[in-house]
Chains A and B, each alone.
Chain A
Amino acid sequence: MSFSILRSAVLVVVASFAATAHAEKNVLAAQIQPLAQTSLILDITATNNSMVAVGERGHVLVNQGQWQQVATPVSAQLTKVFFLNDKLGWAVGHDATIIHTQDGGMTWSIQMQSFDIEKPFLDVHFFNPQHGIAVGAYGLFYRTYDGGQLWQPEFHQELLFEEDVSYLAELKLEDIALYESEKAALLPHFNRVIALSGQRLLLVGELGLVSYSTDLGNTFIKTDFGYEGSMFSAIEHQNQVYVMGLRGHVFKSDLSLSRWTKIDLPVESSINNAFITPDNELMFVGNAGVVLQLKNDNIEIVTRRQGENIVAVTANPKGQIWFGGTKGLFQLP
């Protein structure tokens, strides 16, 4: 009971901040600028007839033949975009921003934004047009049951380390304010959440966090994972689950998620993302401009682009692969 009161109190605060912030700073809308296409791009996703890319300064670009920046009501950096179908999509980012489109990415409206939370969302996932979750830094976790009209926070205590659980329990009795601030910082970053086969969700993040959920993300179960560095992304491919992250660490397991083996990479750069190419091959992208491809259980370097970090990769309906990163959108020659 007390928990739900607290939750709604936070919500009210969040909502009022979002409202005032939005009202006073209308200039915060993203500017349409020629360099949007060549500046930091953090995610690209494809629908049946277009691609949508998001990046710094609230940039959203839509490709229906060529890239075109579209207006958005935010200037916060957007880190991830998710489309449930050709029309309905959500993009999330810094300042706990969530924006929503109903027309395939051409127009966007704010669902949530708070400068006070001081945390970014790093991923968003919808199960159906009503029910979705958004995750982010320091265990940031919000859920909606109405398509994003109302986003409510959740605290995933099950992902805390054991010593932190008892520490928090003590603190709650002694100093409620300190309890709140510690609670907001103890969970690891939730970097990526993806749907796995068998109605499961996979959540990966900081400090070797690799966990799954069988109940639409209400509770997560940590897997037994040996490495303690951050995992930035995950992908399921041919009955194998791959997780990837800091300094060239990529692990794979079968669908049991219990037998992780490290894959040797020819590079030491962080791997930011993975993608299944139209030729059904697994591709990795990462810092120091690396693009890698899995061939016959062997990882080969496709290219290393100097002075550039690659974060995003997708293919358009024609099967052409696009990349995004610190120098914007590009294709390989």
Chain B
Amino acid sequence: MLDKLVNGFETHLFRNRIWVILSFILMTVFLGYQASQLKMDAAFSKNIPLNHQYMQTYTKHQKNFGGANSIIVVVEDTSGNIFNANFFDVLKNVHDQLFFIPGVERSQVKSLFSPSTRFTEVVEDGFAGGPVIPADFTTDDYGLGVVRDNIEKAGIVGRLIATNYSSAMVSAQLMEFDPQTGEPLDTIAFADQLEEQIRGQFENGNIKIHIIGFAKMAGDVAEGAKGVVFFFLIAIAITAVMVYLFSKSLTLTVLPLVCSLMAVIWQLGLLTVVGYGLDPMSILIPFLVFAIGVSHGVQMINGVRSRVLAGQLTKSAAASAFRSLLIPGGVALLSDTVGFLTLLAIDIGIIRELAISASLGVAVIILTNLILLPLVISYTDLSKLEPNEQTKQKIEKLWLKLSMFATPKYAVWVLICTTLLYLFGYQQSANMKIGDLQGGAPALHQDSRYNLDTFYITNNYSITTDVMSVIVEATPEACTYHSVLETIDEFEWQVANTPGVESTASLASVAKRVNAGFNEGNPKWQVLPRTTASLVQAVGRVPTTSGLLNGNCSVMPVYLFLKDHKAETIEVVIDKVKQVAQQLNTPDIQFKLASGPVGVMAATNEAVSEAQLPMMIYVYGAVFVLCLISFRSLKATVAVIIPLYVVSTLAQALMTWLNIGLAVSTLPVIALGVGIGVDYGIYILSTMSGKLTNGMAVQQAYYEALVERGSAVIFTGLTLAIGVSTWFFSALKFQMDMGILLTFMFLVNMLGAIIILPALSAIFWPKRK
């Protein structure tokens, strides 16, 4: 019945082929215009699992305490000493410039020049104090001397001033929305402004500018992502050469490439239509679409070519190739699409975007390469194609050798080796790490400007960017109760003593120091006073701009500064926080995870590791159902899925081995790899299953499948692998990781389909000789 449907469809299409082709061209013009409107887009909130419990705490308190979206600009004097007129002028200008960039939360800009930067000192009759930079500040020796003393008194060395006095910091929080337009803040444009208006304007021989923060990182990632265009051209060139070598025909080289590029254009255009931008993370999708398009295109030209060589006319060869490939090709592409759509189950915006853009792209290929391509081919004249008998014989010899895998004798050995490999891979994959394994921004290489800036700042300041805050939710005016602050203090102390925590800060610990200040600076009074009056006095000195309490001190974060943001470090700290929180939580005082950059990472790590198993189940479930539908045979389905599963496991082992953590960027790779890897098996087994049903011996069936589709399958594997392997050279570390993993999955899945799959078939259909 299905065949009838396909035949009817074919007749209809080929009869109206000119109109079909014309409508494709119109569509391409429309979507090409849409694609030209596509913008780079990297919003912070897309990268985090917004519905995760930690992120709800994060969102709830973001307004009061700033979130994780901060920007730090460090101005360095290359002479190693900041106390000169030029430096202070530049620092003031940087402060003002940053203050006025749209999107900066102006109340949160902090530097030596912000009015909230004050010092206090103890004198005989109490406190004395003032702004670190006095109102009558002049950049002469006297003025600089005063500032130098004030800096010491204010205790901001290591926070706003480098510990070696070679640089000073300006920090700011970013808003989610641009206050002028009300639109979401354009992170990449913001990063460009930082680069132009801060670094471009002020960096020179004497002054170095270091900038870190999510927005800057996103900007650098977008910048690095532009290099992808170059890789794309290389991938097209290599693919073109390979297709030519395969087809030995210029026409048959150009057509699949053009159709595949058309798929890419459609995919990019559709992104604009559905209202998405191009995220640096999903920029690899066009590669995949192109490579998948080419590989299906190659199946198509292979089908047409062999039929033409067998003596058919080009048009009828195209029609017949269309008939025979629509179902297996459609199923393969459909399972890719479904495989990608399963990524929607992961509650991280960026992965969902990836899922949608990838499944759109792959679905489009069904139209461009399974329908349009044969229609266009039907207009060409391939009668001049000459079979190359010598090559043909060589290849047939290879097929004969390969078909030995489908004999029980070899199959046993193949399966034993596969089992051993699987066991090895399984054992290794258990050690796969979650999260980012390196310091700095994991998306970028260790020696990128951004990461060098990060390392400069973490080395010269006592702050680290690896901050997690635990939010203490209590009753209004809670900070005036000794018991509340004592509980916070107890919490802070226990967590401070956790491996991986470098230092901590909270209202409790600051109030203790203020209390010492009220007692003549005597460290013996560095305690939380029991009398309410003294406690209020101590807490009252701490402004809300410190980020240690909100207006009515019902909310008080505890900041944990960690030694790095490796998943293990985060996990140990999170476990400890949970344990201590459980012990100290009462209805009136609740310790809630988590905010700050590491809080976000913790949530992401948890979301990613929780998503891993369901994602695998969905992907395999989808592939299983689709194979079952198309083969109507459990044995065939299992024979396709087992090699895939072995390869996924080996890919995880490879991640362990190469120190690639399971992160937002690498999580989808497994799904993509499985989704595309299944194509090979489907193409081979769809040819075999008909013959097996008719009673043919496994080896013979496999041999004939190889003759028909083998070269296309191997070719596809190579094309896909080459397309993604150009990412090894990407400026972006995560693209490199994805490139390595996808190359591995494409190649090894191809090997699995031509080695493990026939061996399994030999065991599953044993009685046929």
A contact set with B: CB distance below 8 Å: 31, 33-35, 40, 42, 56-57, 77, 79, 94-95, 115, 118, 120, 122, 228-230, 232, 246-247, 270, 272, 287-288, 306-307, 309, 311, 325-326
Cβ < 8 Å to A, chain B residues 441-463: none
B528 to chain A minimum Cβ distance, whole angstroms, is 10
B492 to chain A minimum Cβ distance, whole angstroms, is 11
A-B contact number at CB 8 A:
64
Q: A309 near B523 (CB under 8 angstroms)? A: yes
Q: A122 near B524 (CB under 8 angstroms)? A: yes
Q: A56 near B526 (CB under 8 angstroms)? A: yes
Check: B494 CB closer than 8 A to any chain A CB.
Answer: yes
Nearest 7 A/B pairs, CB to CB: A33-B497, A79-B524, A309-B523, A118-B530, A35-B497, A77-B527, A229-B124
CA distance A323 to B659 in the complex (A): 44
CA distance A56 to B508 in the complex (A): 14
Cβ < 8 Å to A, chain B residues 520-534: 520-527, 530-531
Q: Is the interface of B mostly helix, strand, loop or mixed?
A: loop
CA distance A79 to B122 in the complex (A): 21
Check: B349 CB closer than 8 A to any chain A CB.
Answer: no
Q: B526 near A40 (CB under 8 angstroms)? A: yes
Cβ < 8 Å to A, chain B residues 490-534: 493-494, 496-497, 520-527, 530-531
Beta-carbon nearest neighbor of B499 in chain A: A34
Q: Tell me how many residues of B have a C-beta within 8 Å of chain A.
A: 22
Give every chain B residue within 8 A of A325 (Cβ-Cβ).
523
Give every chain B residue within 8 A of A270 (Cβ-Cβ).
122, 520-522
Q: B493 near A311 (CB under 8 angstroms)? A: no
Q: A115 near B123 (CB under 8 angstroms)? A: no
Q: Which of B497, B520, B527, B531 contacts A94 (CB 8 A)?
A: B527
Encoded as 1 (CB less than 8 Å from any A CB) or 0, chain B from 154 to 172 comes to: 0101100001000000000
Known: A118-B530, A118-B531. A311 touches B124 (CB 8 A): no
Q: B523 near A57 (CB under 8 angstroms)? A: no
Give every chain A residue within 8 A of B493 (Cβ-Cβ).
31, 33, 35, 57
Q: Which of B123, B497, B524, B530 contacts A42 (CB 8 A)?
A: B524
Q: A42 near B494 (CB under 8 angstroms)? A: no
Give every chain A residue within 8 A of B524 (Cβ-Cβ).
42, 77, 79, 120, 122, 311
Q: Which of B124, B157, B163, B497 contacts A247 (CB 8 A)?
A: B124
Q: A40 near B523 (CB under 8 angstroms)? A: yes
Q: Which of A94, A228, A232, A306 contacts B522 (CB 8 A)?
A: A232
Q: B157 near A31 (CB under 8 angstroms)? A: no
Given contacts A34-B497, A288-B152, 6 further A-B pairs with CB under 8 A are A42-B524, A118-B530, A228-B124, A272-B522, A306-B157, A326-B523
Q: B124 near A31 (CB under 8 angstroms)? A: no
Q: B521 near A287 (CB under 8 angstroms)? A: yes
Q: Can you give 13 contacting A-B residue pairs, CB < 8 Å?
A: A35-B497, A42-B523, A42-B524, A77-B524, A118-B531, A120-B525, A246-B122, A270-B520, A270-B521, A272-B522, A287-B523, A325-B523, A326-B523
Give every chain A residue within 8 A of B158 (Cβ-Cβ).
307
Q: B124 near A272 (CB under 8 angstroms)? A: no
B510 to chain A minimum Cβ distance, whole angstroms, is 13
Known: A31-B494, A35-B496, A306-B157. A246 touches B530 (CB 8 A): no
Q: A230 near B520 (CB under 8 angstroms)? A: yes
Cβ < 8 Å to A, chain B residues 531-568: 531
| Chain A CB within 10 Å, residue with most, of B152, B163, B527 | B527
Q: A311 near B523 (CB under 8 angstroms)? A: yes
Give every chain B residue within 8 A of A229 (Cβ-Cβ).
124, 520
CA distance A79 to B152 in the complex (A): 27
Give every chain B residue within 8 A of A122 (Cβ-Cβ).
524
